[in-house]
Amino acid sequence: MTIQKNAAKKTFNKKRLLMVLPMLVAFALGMFLFQGIGQDPNKMESSLIGRALPQFTAKTLASPATQVSQNDMIGAPALINVWATWCPTCRAEHEFLNRIAAQEGVKIFGVNYHDQRNAAQQWLQDLGSPYVFTVFDPKGALGIELGVVGAPETYLIDAQGIVVDKLTGELNDRTWPPLREQYLSLLQGTN
Amino acid sequence: MVKDVFVAFAISMLSLVVPIANADIKSYEFAQPQMAQRFSDLTTVLRCPKCQNQNLADSDSIIAKDLRAQIQTLLNDGQSDKQITDFMVQRYGDFILYDPPFNQATLVLWIAPIAMIFIGLWALWFLGRKTAPQGAMLSLDEQQQLQQLLADNPQQQPSNGHDHGKD
């Protein structure tokens, strides 16, 4: 009698488990999908993070006679900012770049991406240049090596030229602080 | 009339599925003729990093053009398809592949459908299995009682289901 009662109890428990199981599965699926809400589907992990800057040689924007390579960017923590005159967001962030270069002493290298030399030179003359120097990349060759998707993009490198982080989009009061924190800790590391 | 509308609708839907031929492909020149085919294959399976729902062949964005030109160069350099996709993955991540590789980040993507099938099969088996032993749940006493009742009322034996709705 008790054995049968236990058996009945067992099926009852199983039945209850079976009823709860779909709820648990639905809940787990819900949680999984919920954490995706608000995430930017355009945000991609740069595969360059944690790796050394690619090797390249290119002319500078200032002069077709001056050749630079990745070694010219290595030595101190710095930003590499990909920009173009056809890019409205680049225009929007330019003043901000000027400010952090002048006031915070941030070392910034420019990569002029898919642009015309005259227009780009004029742009820097009119708006001021936050850059130590700008690499002229009219065909996007350096862009491909860096994994650039579109301007603006900003890379943070350490003193050894390892890419630490990457920002796609505008650098401003909202996006700079997290990068700045990393930049400052890199500075402390080198001193 | 309704049929015509349906056919028109079906055809218009089909046009969404059929990949848009790449008019641009003629402008790429290759050292060997079969490279053109490999070029069109590669630009179909590689995703444009900028406009993420298009492949490299379909996209008109700057980066897609650059990457197409890059693939052309790599093909003419004699690189294999594997070398070329590796080149892209190295710079743009697994993201650039329409066919995602099996790794930690894509684990759920690959496992979930298979797991769902097994959970479904298990549920079917579990539910199907349960019906059979239910009759045996009566105790011996109860079974005897049941036999007794059936014997006492032979005209009320359980119907076989065919005479539903007779009364």
User: How does pLDDT run across A16-48, given as a tens digit for each residue?
Assistant: 777 888 888 899 989 988 887 877 666 666 778
The tally of CA atoms less than 13 A away on the side-chain side of residue B113 is: 3
Residue A176 and residue A103 share a domain: yes
Q: Do B119 and A25 touch (CB under 8 A)?
A: yes
Write out the E strands in A29-149.
Answer: 57-59, 67-69, 78-83, 108-113, 134-137
What is the percentage of chain A residues whose pLDDT exceeds 90? Answer: 71
Residue B137: band (very low, low, confident or very high) from pLDDT cuts 50, 70, 90: confident
Domains in chain B, start-ordered, CATH in brackets? 13-123 (1.10.8.640)
Residue A49 located in a structural domain: no
- The stretch A143-163 carries a mean pLDDT of 93
How many other C-beta atoms are found inside a 10 Å radius of the C-beta of residue A157? 27
A-chain residues within 8 Å CB-CB of B67? 144
Quote the mean pLDDT of chain A: 89
The enclosing domain of A93 has a CATH number of: 3.40.30.10
Distance from B153 to chain A by nearest Cα, in Å?
A: 27
Q: Do A41 and B49 touch (CB under 8 A)?
A: no
Measure the CA–CA gap between B10 and A133, rounded to whole angstroms.
57
Measure the CA–CA gap between A91 and A81, rounded to whole angstroms.
12
Q: Do A150 and B66 touch (CB under 8 A)?
A: no
Quote the mean pLDDT of chain B: 79
The tokens for A133 are 């120097």
pLDDT digits (tens, 9 = 90+) for A98-121: 999 999 999 999 999 999 999 999
Residue A99 and residue A31 share a domain: no
Measure the CA–CA gap between A111 and A73, rounded to whole angstroms.
11
Whether A76 and A191 have beta carbons less than 8 Å apart is answered as no
Residue A35 and residue A67 share a domain: no
A-chain residues within 8 Å CB-CB of B120? none
Residue A46 located in a structural domain: no
Q: Do A144 and B67 touch (CB under 8 A)?
A: yes
Whether A74 and A159 have beta carbons less than 8 Å apart is answered as yes
Whole-complex ipTM: 0.75
Residue A115 located in a structural domain: yes
Say which residue, B52 or A52, is predicted with more confidence.
A52
Residue whose token pair is 């790449």? B22
Report the pLDDT value the prediction gives residue B34, as an integer from 0 to 100: 87
Q: Do B137 and A8 touch (CB under 8 A)?
A: yes
How many other C-beta atoms are found inside a 10 Å radius of the C-beta of residue A117? 15
Distance from B147 to chain A by nearest Cα, in Å?
A: 19
Does the predicted model carry a pTM greater than 0.80? no
Name which of B43, B134, B41 is nearest A7 in CA terms.
B134
Residue A156 located in a structural domain: yes
Helix boundaries (H) for A47-175: 88-103, 117-127, 141-146
Residue A126 and residue A35 share a domain: no
Residues ≥6 apart with Cβ < 8 Å to B38:
B75, B81
Residue A72 and residue A101 share a domain: yes
Say which residue, A128 or B165, is predicted with more confidence.
A128
Instruction: List beta partners, residue A162.
Output: A52
Report the pLDDT value the prediction gives residue B162, as an integer from 0 to 100: 53
Task: Please give the residue range of the domain that contains residue A29.
Answer: 1-39
Measure the CA–CA gap between B116 and B124, rounded to whole angstroms.
12
Residue A68 and residue A108 share a domain: yes
Lowest mean pLDDT, pick from A136-140, B29-33, B68-72: B29-33
Domain count, chain A: 2
Option in A21, A41, A47 nearest B91 (CB): A47
